[in-house]
Structure 1
Amino acid sequence: MSPHILHVVTNTAHFDDPSEKTGLWLSELTHAWEVFEGRGFEQTIISPVGGYVPLDPRSLKFPAKEKTAEAWLSGPAKMSLLGDTPRAADVDAADYDAVYFAGGHGAMYDFPDNVDLQRITREIFEASGVVSAVCHGYCGLLNTRLSDGSLLLDGREITGFSWLEEKLVLVDKLVPYDVEKQSKERGASYRKAKLPFAPFTVADGTLITGQNPASAKETAERVAEVLATVGRADA
């Protein structure tokens, strides 16, 4: 059987200021989807509370490397996957070989404290599956504890959207917290690229994280490689 990837996306459509829109950073999903699709993996998209997935307007300005996102927008079948997503509470983690948290600033709000996302992450990780996140997707890892009570991030190497990048995209006054700082406070060994917005991925065993939107494809490729290494994908 082909590996089954569980994509997690946000339901949150705005920052604390309702006039400041956010949501899923579309290319972080679409680049990964294309990688997994090319390998014949089964894929499912869920969200914290289910239903509609808003798209961050900033993610819809397409540089050439984000053609996968443009194709999704023009494809009704693909867009329908974001119109009515299953909710995390209804997911059986045993059905999946990997979880992939996509970002967008909406993830800062509804990922960290969702107990069902924490459950799914813990169960996949403890079953030797792959836990992965790109950009703000790592907000979904902040408060996950393993069965022994330890934080998933404690003592592990990770990356994710940096505070410098928040400042450079002029949202440092809008975000509810500094996720880079929060990850370090939970014991993570946070790493980042030498240059902001450059592709950068960190693999610590079966925990794989990417720094920013440009890292989504590379992160998904590492997920596929690790799945093969641990015997949960065709080599």
Structure 2
Amino acid sequence: MKKILVVVTSANQIDSEKSTGLWLSEFAEPFIEFSKQGYEITVASPLGGKTPIDSNSVSADLHQEILDAEKFLANTIKVDEVNAEDYDVIFLPGGHGTMFDLPDNGKLQTLLREFYEAGKIVAAVCHGPAGLVNTKLSDGKFLVEGKRITAFTDSEEKAAGLDSYMPFLLESKLRQAGSNFVTAPDWSDHYEVDGNLITGQNPQSTLSVAKAVIAKLN
């Protein structure tokens, strides 16, 4: 049985007035697809416990199956308790919360390095690649250096009206780390695969990322 580690944000505030969290569909859609394959899924976060959900990602027109997935976010384990050797894949969903607690989580950076250097799948979508911006390999190079990747673009951040609230712009930061960052038009389904690194641009790309992970595992 393949084992998937999903790492979600614990951050629930952008500032004193703006709340944030995980973008629900970016967790739920892969969770559903991985479950259909019979994979064993563990959900972890920096603080453990209940994951904050971005209220903007929850609406009445969402498929009930996506809404139901929220129950799997009620009691996440702490990232500090996780061992890379126990899993085949690490997957980072997005939501603006990731911009505040994933980039500087030393344990997460260690896990990402260990997964990648062991030839295991490292996957992330939308703001999930925020976890990659400071991740370095054993040789000291950034994990994303020279890699063809994508993530939530600077253009999309500006269109969302949150660019001035972010600690950094994700596309710009990943470019600074030496990645070969590939963009597609705002809100289009776009993902990139470079070896065992799989990244998606936005919420619309989530299912494509999940299916790319499944294709590599199978």
1:121 is the counterpart of 2:112: yes
- Partner Cα separation in structure 2 for residue 191 and residue 145 of structure 1: 20
Give the corresponding residue for 1:88. 79
Give the corresponding residue for 2:137. 146
Aligned with 1:216 (options 196, 206, 213) = 206
Aligned with 1:69 (options 45, 48, 66) = 66
Q: CA deviation at 1:62?
A: 5.1
Residues 176-227 of structure 1, C-alpha deviation per residue, up to 9 Å, x if partnerless? 211100000000011121x211111100000000000111111011011122
Amino acid paired to 1:29? F
- Partner Cα separation in structure 2 for residue 142 and residue 97 of structure 1: 22
1:180 is the counterpart of 2:171: yes
Residues 133-167 of structure 1, C-alpha deviation per residue, up to 9 Å, x if partnerless? 00000000111111111110100010000111111
Residues 44-90 of structure 1, C-alpha deviation per residue, up to 9 Å, x if partnerless? 100012122100011012555x55422335xxxxx1x3222111111
Residues 107-158 of structure 1, C-alpha deviation per residue, up to 9 Å, x if partnerless? 0010011011011111111111100000000000111111111110100010
Unaligned runs of 5+ in 1: 74-78, 229-235
Aligned-pair identity (%): 39
- Partner Cα separation in structure 1 for residue 60 and residue 115 of structure 2: 33
- Partner Cα separation in structure 1 for residue 65 and residue 26 of structure 2: 10
Give the corresponding residue for 1:25. 23
1:206 is the counterpart of 2:214: no
Q: Runs of at least 4 residues of structure 1 off by over 4 A?
A: none
Amino acid paired to 1:60? V
Amino acid paired to 2:68? A
| SS of aligned partner of 2:188 | coil
The answer to whether the 8 A contact 1:162-1:211 is kept is: yes
Q: TM-score, normalised by structure 1?
A: 0.89
- Partner Cα separation in structure 1 for residue 6 and residue 149 of structure 2: 19
| SS of aligned partner of 1:173 | helix
The answer to whether the 8 A contact 1:155-1:187 is kept is: yes
Q: How many residue pairs were aligned?
A: 218
The answer to whether the 8 A contact 1:97-1:130 is kept is: yes
The answer to whether the 8 A contact 1:129-1:227 is kept is: no
1:60 is the counterpart of 2:55: no
CA RMSD of aligned residues (A): 1.3
Amino acid paired to 1:57? S
1:196 is the counterpart of 2:186: yes
- Partner Cα separation in structure 2 for residue 83 and residue 40 of structure 1: 21
